[in-house]
Amino acid sequence: MRFTDRVAISTGAASGMALVTARMLAVEGARVVLTDVNEEAVNQAAESIRAAGGEALAVRVDVRCYEEVKAAVDVALDRYGRVDILHNSAGGASSRVFARKEPFHEIPIEVVDWGLDVNLKGAVYFCHAVLGAMIRQKGGVIINMGSVDGVTGSGCPDYGAAKAGMIGLTKSIALHGAPHGVRSCCVSPGPVLTRPEMANMKTRLGRAAEPEEIANLIAYLCSDEASFITGANYVIDGGRSIGGMA
């Protein structure tokens, strides 16, 4: 029970890695605040955690809107009095989300803006909104979700740029937080079996990751076992970024 009485906010938590991780934190005692733009889905996700015996609260948030981001943090502080963990997980490749097959220079700029805003600006907004509370309580952990595409480059340039930006954001927040006991780490996965098509992406280990493998790393970095780790990017990609993949 590494997270008893700790409060965690997770973004994009109606599904995918954010939900898997939130469930893992809740099993180990955390009170989780799930945020997502899909209100019905995030309410169902929170209910599934409560049904399993955990404590969970759902808040609809569009991470592109700072007022909604700040309101969600205020909900957590009003309800629980603190925020110990922030898991910035909202995102997705814009070309996939909007089913765009054109070359990058032909994709509508509104689609590119969505990719930058959701994958990077939303994380910046949440860091801005929680950092003051973490500094006041003299502790906290911020986990930013990068991607192997932020290391190697991406067929979706706005996604690769945003995920590379998550590494810089992590290091910068680590610098600000270190004097106050606030840590920040980036986790950059390769293909993860949150979607069936991920199984077709090649890695040196010959498979995609199980979601729990990524969540285990995130939970470790959030725990006191990782108390001397900050500012680092953890690539967990089965060797995909080593290079030489045909």
**Whole-prediction pTM:** 0.95
Q: What's the pLDDT tens digit per position in 123-132?
A: 999 999 999 9
What's the average model confidence in pLDDT over 5-11? 97
For the stretch 63-76, pLDDT in tens is 999 999 999 999 99
In this predicted model, what pLDDT tens digit does every residue of 131-179 receive, in sequence order?
999 999 999 999 999 999 999 999 999 999 999 999 999 999 999 999 9
120 with 89: CB under 8 angstroms?
Answer: no
Rounded Cα gap, residues 134 and 53, in angstroms: 27
Q: What is the pLDDT of residue 245?
A: 62
- 159 is annotated as an active-site residue: yes
Pairing, β 7-11 against β 85-88: parallel
Give me the helix-helix angle, 39-51 and 16-27, nearest 10°. Answer: 30
Residue with tokens 């990751």, as numbered in its chain: 209
> Mean pLDDT throughout 196-201?
82
* pLDDT value for 150: 96
The one catalytic residue in 66, 125, 159, 234 is 159
pLDDT bin (cut points 50, 70, 90) of residue 118 is very high
What number does CATH give the domain 7-241?
A: 3.40.50.720
For residue 9, what are the contacts with CB-CB under 8 A and spacing of at least 6?
32, 33, 35, 72, 73, 76, 83, 85, 86, 87, 126, 130
Q: How far apart are CA 126 and CA 229, in angstroms?
A: 21
Cα–Cα distance between 129 and 66 in angstroms, integer?
A: 8
